[in-house]
């Protein structure tokens, strides 16, 4: 069985490649430049290949060194993550929450921070990712996900079913040409969201126009070359920046509407095909603060569902502009 090079030499090499030179690597590691050079020589002698070469007054990675460093960097990053995970699990006053990135940034994070302010003794870790936590991975207390990917999970509860609504910057709509009907939105750039292949995409502009009774002849004017974003949060920011109307999830724009960054000229929502779910580890409720967080989050979700239901009931109504 082949043995690995000395771990310390690998650590120094990873730092040299990451920092771009011996001097900075020595400073980061808290050792002398001479010690760094010694470890680099030891590694090269062990491998039988040159990893660094002179480039003027500086040293840079050789082609072989660059390839080797890429693998070393991945390995050391995994070690750093594993160490951080262990440190988090050692603290019984931690709460770890994983959620889809856009929902986390546009709805969940601000609310969790407000909850944490009521529990200042707790450390809260928020992880925005599309990847579902592995049962064999580090401990994530709660996960907020979407769609049928949690259909077979035992520890799960539905949070709310979102809906999409048309919103834009308050500066986008011309004062001399106010919107009288939903069809008037067609005169503006349309920003779309497409989640494929990760999830079934939310309702499209064509879906929304049809649901509220816009004539097919008018719907045909929808421009298929409009802006399309894979992240809802990015699409919403484009609307805030004045680049057009976005058909956005109600939960993700409620704070921007309240702050006046967006306006909703027609409060008419169309439901997403799947709800959001909350899942948790079997031992999560062993911690009292996790039980408290669970109750609190379900209350937040119930309120969001109430707001969404109001928007969904308007479909098929008068279609009059709403002052939000």
CB 222 within 8 A of CB 183: no
Tokens at 176, concatenated? 């001399």
283 and 144 belong to one structural domain: yes
227 and 217 belong to one structural domain: yes
154 and 283 belong to one structural domain: yes
Report the pLDDT value the prediction gives residue 137, as an integer from 0 to 100. 55
Q: Which of 209, 226, 229 is nearest to 218 (CA)?
A: 209
Q: Is residue 25 part of a domain?
A: yes
Report the pLDDT value the prediction gives residue 291, as an integer from 0 to 100. 94
Give backbone dihedrals phi and psi of 118, rounded to 5 degrees, phi first: -85, -10
Report the pLDDT value the prediction gives residue 323, as an integer from 0 to 100. 37
Report the pLDDT value the prediction gives residue 157, as an integer from 0 to 100. 92
Report the pLDDT value the prediction gives residue 87, as an integer from 0 to 100. 62
Tokens at 168, concatenated? 């834009």
38 and 172 belong to one structural domain: no
CB 192 within 8 A of CB 62: no
Report the pLDDT value the prediction gives residue 316, as an integer from 0 to 100. 43
Q: Is residue 242 part of a domain?
A: yes
Tokens at 62, concatenated? 């050789």
Report the pLDDT value the prediction gives residue 321, as an integer from 0 to 100. 35
For the whole model, what pTM was predicted? 0.68
Report the pLDDT value the prediction gives residue 258, as an integer from 0 to 100. 93
Q: Which of 218, 207, 227 is nearest to 184 (CA)?
A: 218
Tally of domains in the chain: 3
Q: Which of 312, 272, 309, 233 is nearest to 148 (CA)?
A: 272
Tokens at 270, concatenated? 């169309």
Report the pLDDT value the prediction gives residue 196, as an integer from 0 to 100. 78
Q: Is residue 121 part of a domain?
A: yes
pLDDT below 70 — which residues of the chain? 1-2, 84-93, 135-138, 149-153, 176, 223-225, 314-324
Sign of CA dihedral 16, 19, 20, 23: negative
**Would you give the DSSP letter of residue 203?**
P
Q: Is residue 322 part of a domain?
A: no
172 and 268 belong to one structural domain: yes
Report the pLDDT value the prediction gives residue 90, as an integer from 0 to 100. 57
Give backbone dihedrals phi and psi of 231, rounded to 5 degrees, phi first: -110, 125
Find the domain containing 191 and state its range.
163-272+308-314
Quick one: which H or E segment has residue 15? helix 7-19
Angle, CA of 36, 37 and 42, to the nearest 5°: 100
Quick one: which H or E segment has residue 247? strand 245-249
CB 74 within 8 A of CB 67: no
CB 59 within 8 A of CB 52: yes
196 and 263 belong to one structural domain: yes
């Amino acid at each position: 069985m082949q043995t690995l090079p000395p771990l310390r030499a690998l650590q120094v090499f990873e730092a040299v490649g990451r920092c771009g030179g011996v001097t900075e690597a020595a400073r980061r590691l808290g050792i002398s430049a001479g010690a760094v050079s010694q470890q680099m020589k030891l590694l090269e002698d062990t491998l039988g290949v040159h990893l660094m070469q002179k480039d003027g007054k500086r040293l840079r990675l050789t082609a072989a060194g660059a390839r080797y460093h890429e693998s070393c960097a991945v390995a050391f990053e995994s070690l750093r993550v594993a160490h951080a995970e262990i440190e988090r699990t050692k603290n019984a006053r931690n709460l770890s929450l994983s959620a889809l990135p856009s929902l986390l940034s546009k709805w969940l994070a601000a609310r969790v921070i407000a909850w944490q302010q009521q529990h200042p003794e707790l450390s809260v870790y928020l992880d925005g990712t599309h990847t579902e936590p592995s049962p064999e991975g580090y401990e994530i207390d709660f996960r907020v996900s979407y769609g049928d990917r949690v259909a077979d999970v035992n520890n799960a509860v539905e949070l709310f079913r979102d809906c999409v609504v048309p919103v834009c910057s308050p500066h986008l709509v011309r004062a001399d040409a106010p919107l009288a009907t939903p069809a008037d939105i067609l005169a503006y750039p349309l920003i779309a969201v497409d989640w494929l292949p990760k999830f079934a995409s939310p309702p499209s502009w064509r879906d929304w126009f049809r649901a509220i009774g816009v004539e097919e002849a008018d719907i045909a004017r929808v421009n298929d070359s409009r802006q399309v974003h894979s992240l809802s949060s990015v699409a919403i920011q484009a609307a805030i920046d004045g680049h057009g109307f976005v058909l956005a999830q109600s939960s993700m724009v409620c704070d921007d509407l309240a702050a006046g960054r967006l306006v909703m000229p027609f409060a008419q929502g169309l439901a997403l095909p799947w709800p959001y779910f909350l899942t948790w580890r079997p031992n999560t409720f062993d911690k009292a603060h996790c039980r408290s967080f669970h109750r609190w989050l379900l209350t937040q979700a119930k309120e969001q569902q109430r707001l969404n239901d109001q928007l969904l009931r308007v479909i098929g109504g008068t279609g009059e502009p709403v002052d939000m």
